[in-house]
Amino acid sequence: MSTQFTIHATDGQARNGTLATAHGDIRTPAFMPVGTVATVKGMTPEAVRSTGADIILSNTYHLMLRPTAELVAKMGGLHKFMNWSGPILTDSGGFQVMSLSKLRKMSEKAVTFQSHLDGSTHELSPERAMEIQHLLGSDITMVLDECTPFPAMEDEAKRSMELSMRWAQRSKDAFKPRDGYALFGIVQGSVYPKLREASAAALTSIGFDGYAIGGLAVGEGQELMFDVLDVTTPHLPVEQPRYLMGVGKPDDIIGAVARGVDMFDCVIPTRSGRFARAYTHEGERNLRNAKYAEDNTPLDALCTCPACTKYSRAYLHHLFKADEMLGPILLTWHNIAFYQQMMQGIREAIAAGRFAAFAESFLARYRGIQDEKEP
């Protein structure tokens, strides 16, 4: 395992760094657009790169079912297959097995499940998860874990976490180390501080290139999520990157950066873009709202994406009302660009030692407008 993480500056617990991989550098804190099935929905790879994204995320569960990891490998690997030259992180599929699959059956050996696509039966073990991600050519491979549902009683969360730790060891044993490629462990333990601490200790004793914090953003709410981060990140190695999985909205990200997190992913900016919701420096806007029908101003005056520099709110409103595909394309582009501009602002603020002031100013403005849903 050989990736290099360099921390350039700290401000409180917030860190500004670079993670060097086989396919390029990742500036941290980083937000990874989600390309679940080898595409960021509605975006070309060139468009995603133009927003400032260094890395994207794809998913083991989805790609093992369709088109299969073996086919992707035959086509030259995931980077070539989807025409993305930068780093790729692949989620191991544990969350999707929990949330999407049918008739899931857990055992010490593996999880057996029925595909949500056609009902076919599959087995996913730590060893198979490593094999799939190796076939895909992932720069960052994730261990297979069980994503503990929320809420869960402490004894259930303990059983689940301990299984994930045994699977983490098997994942590392099966991983094929190569220069520039990384394996990340995943901390579990639900909302129980002692379980989170035990999980972090187990993973650090095994030893990984980075440490993800899983089992959050599953319904526990922001306050409880921050409480879990407060008792988790202090137990993770300072010299390795920390990745909060599946998070989140802008205020979630800023709060997590303040707690020492370096990497994020979430479907929110792309999914919201498909449903007319835009994230802007002045808050969230629902472009289906009638008040935008004659609004000739830019969506976000501080954004340099095509949606903001070439089109009006009125035009974007029209596209969604007319069910034209350009609406979701432009708004997805904008949302990803907004997130990347936010991350760049965060990195610059940490480097300048003014992260707290940046966070206060950004959030005060961002919380100014929260459009209601269209009646």
Q: Is 97 exposed, middle or buried (0-12, 13-18, 19+ CB in 10 A)?
A: buried
Measured over the CA atoms of residue 270, residue 276, residue 278 and residue 284, the dihedral's sign is negative
d(CA 25, CA 19): 6
Of the candidates 221, 191, 238, which has an alpha carbon nearest to the alpha carbon of residue 14?
Answer: 238
Residue 155 is a catalytic residue:
no
Residue 265 is a catalytic residue:
yes
The identity of residue 84, as a single letter, is W
Q: From the candidates 145, 209, 262, 265, which is the catalytic residue?
A: 265
d(CA 281, CA 286): 14
Of the candidates 139, 133, 150, 1, which has an alpha carbon nearest to the alpha carbon of residue 63?
Answer: 133
Could you report how far apart the first and last alpha carbons of the chain are, in Å? 53
Three-state SS at 59: strand
Q: From the candidates 91, 139, 145, 209, which is the catalytic residue?
A: 91
Q: What is the DSSP string of 66-113?
A: TT-HHHHHHTT-HHHHHT--S-EEEE-SHHHHHHT-EEEEE-SS-EEE
- List the catalytic residues: 91, 265
